[in-house]
Amino acid sequence: MIVDYHLDCNETGIGALEGLSEHWRQRLPGILISADISEQVRDAAASRGYLYLSKPVKPAALRNLVRRVARRQPVAESG
């Protein structure tokens, strides 16, 4: 899942990812995108296992991160 860090109503993309993970009872892979390049934001993403990409987002960089996340995830078996 790709999320922006700063959301409306003082919410964050990290909070959204964690809330959705809790709702679906499984850890969601995440890429956090933000114009905030502070170490605090990068560390918050990394400490939870999310990847970080600063704005402005370069298409090639995003593509590479999406591929990286996809390689981490097991393929679901159809049954």
Structure confidence at residue 72 (pLDDT): 80
Structure confidence at residue 71 (pLDDT): 87
Q: Where are the domains of the chain?
A: 2-72
pLDDT in tens, 45-79: 999 999 999 999 999 999 999 999 888 866 554 44
pLDDT in tens, 7-60: 999 999 999 999 999 999 999 999 999 999 999 999 999 999 999 999 999 999
List Cα–Cα distances, 12 to 5, 17, 54, 59, 73, in angstroms: 5, 9, 15, 23, 24
Structure confidence at residue 76 (pLDDT): 53
Q: Cα–Cα distance between 48 and 12 in angstroms, integer? A: 13
